[in-house]
Amino acid sequence: MGKLCSSKRQQNALTSAIKEYGALRRTVYAARYLADKAYRRRIARQLNKGENLRALRRALAYTGEGALRRRHHEQQTEHMWCLTLATNAIVCWSTEYHGLGVAALRRTGRDVDDEVLAHIWPTHHENVHFYGTHSVDIDGELAQLDTDGYRPLRLAEATSGTPLTTAGEPARTRMSVEPPPLDV
């Protein structure tokens, strides 16, 4: 559309109006972005989600040293589809276990704010092991599953096991729930 409108011969009232409309839309967006702090935060959060997803994809790609080692285009496409499948599997797995972790925390009486949950993304991949050869004892893994078919959650010490004291409350240990590690 831009190339069609940029030719000197074809400039007429319609192309001028389209250009002006585009400039007007950009101006309205810029004004809204500058005026609305909540809108800027929402845009930044979306950008962070995209960057986090790209970081996960880079981590998956760089386990193979970041190179496509296939000769033919069809094989390279297949390799990229496999990376996409692995990315989607990690996101689905993390989403499911984050939900289980939040449910477990709420069952123990912890108040988990939905506003905080809006900032948690399933593309965090610190618990994913990308490198090496992974051998899985299928029978052993199946024996660990609970009645719903999930691996057990691990309790992680948020403060390295150091008891905290607050005004008027006895010392207690802060706990968080982590999903079990995922071998890719």
Give the number of residues written for the chain. 184
pTM: 0.59
User: Within the chain, what is the greatest distance between any pair of CA atoms?
Assistant: 81
pLDDT in tens, 112-147: 888 888 778 888 777 777 777 778 888 988 888 888
Q: For residue 179, what are the contacts with CB-CB under 8 A and spacing of at least 6?
A: 93, 94, 97, 98, 100, 101, 127, 153, 154
Query: Given this model, what pLDDT does residue 121 score?
Result: 81
Query: What phi and psi, each to the nearest 5 degrees, are found at residue 47?
Result: -65, -40
